[in-house]
Structure 1
Amino acid sequence: MKAVVMAGGLGSRLHPLTAKRPKPMVPLVNKPVLFHILSLLKHHNITEVVITVKHLAHHIQEYFGDGSKMGMDIRYAMEESPLGTAGGVKNAEWFLDKEPFLVISSDIVTDIDLSNLLQYHREKQAAVTMALKRVSNPKGYGVVIVDAKGGISQLLEKPEPSQITSNIVNTGIYILEPDVLNYMQTDTKYDFSYDIFPALLQDKAPIFGYLANQYWRDIGTIQSYEQAIVDVLNGKVKHIDLGNKISNGVWAGRNVTMAGDVCLFGPIYLGDNVKIKKGATLYGPTVIHDGSVVDRKAWIRHSIIDQESYIGKEATIYQSIVSQDSHIGSDSVVIRKLVHDEPQTETVSSLLPSPYTALKERLMTGYSYSF
């Protein structure tokens, strides 16, 4: 089976993480999100892939190339103008054949069993099989109504609260028969949920839902992205290799250097070429991405430090995301903030009580936190 990976979105809701990179290249712990999607495909012997690209496409093409380093055959379908979820797949029709194919979004974290999904699709002789997930709060998702035999009878894309009658949602993972592409014209914008699936339902085409019980999370927002990282660090997502485990709950990439008195309380991931200097303390869940430096006596808890950033001497970072190429000055205090690539000094959140000294004591002794 071949696969189409949708990777052309802007990722505006993930700003500032997407200020210098396309959304699929945002790092999920140790690798870009798209790398983990492709690794999942390969795990299920799906090695022929076309990636739909548009925004900052060269970042994706330069990183993955032809896929040979991953043991895959990767091609690219460039969108000159936005074509929507379905229009982007139609634009990649040249890559596909007469067999069913997988469509998967690149802004999700999942370990859904794609082999079982294909088997279910064949058993049901479906035109479309949609991977579904039961969630606690379906607000903001595409809600799906499924009958007793697994057939999909209704799709409600981001309905109003009064319209929600199900907690089963669309995951953005589909298996399609090639005839579905006949519902589209080339170089035309189409959306699966708003255009193609309703047309198929109107024609009484067999659309089935596969209710998955594995991990799945949409990471289209900062809050969801943060939670996915916490879940990966806590081992809730299968098939993600964090690499070298240097102590209980602490993983490290290549060429990590640390002073002998550094204190690490996992789960923590340290990327390639990270430097942690004398007297620094890190509490998990925390990720320090490639090339970043944590200077002497800095204190970081429950935070994400993006690539090539600098955390100054005796700085305090708590429940924050520091974006790529940022500089946090010495003695700075960054609490519950998104920091873009500008120098920061004495940044104290107005949401938290003062005086700061009392607050810091509470944080260092286990002050409760949650994203």
Structure 2
Amino acid sequence: MKALVLAGGRGTRLRPLTHTSAKQLVPVANKPVLYYGLEAIRQAGITSVGIVIGDTGHEIRDAVGDGSRFGLDVTYIPQEAPLGLAHCVLIAREFLADEPFVMYLGDNFLVDGITDLVDAFRLADHDAQILLTRVAEPQFYGVAEIGPGGEILGLEEKPEHPRSDLAIVGVYIFSPAIHGAVRAITPSARGELEITDAVTWLVANGFRVHSHLVSGYWKDTGRLQDMLECNRIVLERVEPANRGTVDDLSEITGRVVVEPGAVVENSILRGPIVIGADTKILSSYVGPFTSIGSGCLVCGAEIEYSIVLDGSSVQGVSRVAHSLIGRNVEVSRAAGVSNTHELMVGDHSRIQVRA
């Protein structure tokens, strides 16, 4: 079995971060989301992986390389434009050959991996297996209707009146039958070849399409609140480790990871948190569910339930929370008139201040 990982797309919901970085490389607990997916694929016993890349392909190539660090053999498949998930299958035909394969959306996050899904497919006689999870608001997702034996009866994309609460997770397993389906369908109203249309074609033509329910936590990391929630889930599982330098004036409580080269002075760290390599935490408070990247500076500040990427600084600012701070960003207290906010903000940003 092979794997097809989709790492293109523009990540519009995470702008402005994704103007300059691939959405699949935004970190959760200081590790890119894409890495979790690649590790899950290897844990499932799959080593041959094709990665579909788009405009940010050079970043994906730099981050993943030949895949050997993950125990994988990686082939890159360029997609000229985001023309749909089924189009990714179409252009990967030569790589996939006539083997069954997992299709994994690179910005999806599954805490417990995909081994159960892959094992279930190997034991069954299905042409496709679709990963599903129950959600509170199915109208915002692709939704599946299933029969009493778990067979897929139909799929709907963001239906106004959902027939079930079962949302389609961004992981699928297909037999070679899917190649006929993606050639048979036509572009949707938005000009893309939809994988839901291809699966619907399989069902309509008598192929065996089955469901598999997610046993653990799943998120599509396309929005800020999803990234922060994934960060929380992963940090709850970290094992405490101090590989940096923490002085006697600092106080550490809970699951706290301090990476090599990091320095903590006169500060309070309340876990679970991760402090990246060569980062300095000086006279500050870092609260639960925070990950701070490498080469950062937090000085005279308070921050919690946030993600700070590499090379950024937060100085003299009280209570930063529920925030995602990009790479090489400076957050500091404004001088001059009190209660005045001084901002330089790029396109597609979101800033919230208290008057």
Q: Same fold (TM over 0.5)?
A: yes
Q: Does 1:274 align with 2:279?
A: yes
Counterpart residue number, 1:310: 313
Task: Give 1:321's match in structure 2, choosing from 319, 324, 332.
Answer: 324
Counterpart residue number, 1:202: 204
Equivalent residue letter for 2:241: K
Q: Distance in 2 between matches of 1:340 and 1:305?
A: 17
Q: Distance in 1 between matches of 2:352 and 2:142?
A: 38
Answer whether contact 2:239 2:255 (CA < 8 A) is retained.
Answer: no
Counterpart residue number, 1:256: 262
Give how far 1:120 is off.
Answer: 2.4
Say if 1:254 and 1:129 are closer, same or farther in 2 by CA, change over 3 A. Answer: same
Counterpart residue number, 2:246: none
Say if 1:19 and 1:151 are closer, same or farther in 2 by CA, change over 3 A. Answer: same
Counterpart residue number, 2:353: 349
Q: Structure 1: any 5+ residue segments left out of the alignment?
A: 236-241, 355-371
Equivalent residue letter for 1:111: V
Answer whether contact 2:13 2:223 (CA < 8 A) is retained.
Answer: yes
Give how far 1:113 is off.
Answer: 5.0
Counterpart residue number, 1:369: none
Task: Give 2:270's match in structure 1, choosing from 246, 265, 273.
Answer: 265
Equivalent residue letter for 1:176: F
Q: Distance in 1 between matches of 2:205 and 2:98?
A: 21
Equivalent residue letter for 1:182: G
Q: Distance in 2 between matches of 1:16 and 1:245?
A: 33
TM-score (norm 1): 0.82
Task: Give 1:245's match in structure 2, choosing from 241, 245, 250.
Answer: 241
Task: Give 2:231's match in structure 1, choosing from 220, 229, 232.
Answer: 229
Counterpart residue number, 1:101: 101
Counterpart residue number, 2:220: 218
Q: Distance in 1 between matches of 2:93 and 2:345?
A: 39
Q: Does 1:288 align with 2:292?
A: yes
Q: Distance in 2 between matches of 1:243 and 1:285?
A: 14
Q: Distance in 2 between matches of 1:112 and 1:319?
A: 25
Q: Distance in 2 between matches of 1:348 and 1:39?
A: 36
Partner-residue secondary structure (3-state), 1:41: helix
* Sequence identity (%): 30
Q: Distance in 2 between matches of 1:83 and 1:147?
A: 31
Q: Which whole-Å deviations, capped at 9, do the CAs of 1:312-359 have from their partners, x for residues lacking one? A: 13554233222222111236899xxx99679xxxx9724xxx7xxxxx
Counterpart residue number, 1:365: none
Partner-residue secondary structure (3-state), 1:139: helix
Q: Distance in 1 between matches of 2:296 and 2:44?
A: 34
Q: Distance in 1 between matches of 2:327 and 2:305?
A: 17
Partner-residue secondary structure (3-state), 2:18: coil
Answer whether contact 2:40 2:115 (CA < 8 A) is retained.
Answer: no
**What is the count of residue pairs matched by the alignment?**
332
Q: Which whole-Å deviations, capped at 9, do the CAs of 1:181-203 have from their partners, x for residues lacking one? A: 1223499851101x211211221
Counterpart residue number, 1:167: 165
Q: Distance in 1 between matches of 2:267 and 2:132?
A: 44
Q: Does 1:27 align with 2:27?
A: yes
Counterpart residue number, 2:60: 60
Give how far 1:244 is off.
Answer: 6.1
Matches within 5 A, 1:146-185: 146-160=146-160, 163-185=161-183
Give how far 1:245 is off.
Answer: 2.1
Give how far 1:243 is off.
Answer: 7.1
Matches within 5 A, 1:77-92: 77-92=77-92
Answer whether contact 2:43 2:115 (CA < 8 A) is retained.
Answer: no
Partner-residue secondary structure (3-state), 1:276: strand
Give how far 1:112 is off.
Answer: 4.3
Partner-residue secondary structure (3-state), 2:311: coil
Counterpart residue number, 1:125: 125
Give how far 1:311 is off.
Answer: 0.9
Q: Structure 2: any 5+ residue segments left out of the alignment?
A: 243-251
Equivalent residue letter for 2:262: V
Answer whether contact 2:181 2:199 (CA < 8 A) is retained.
Answer: no
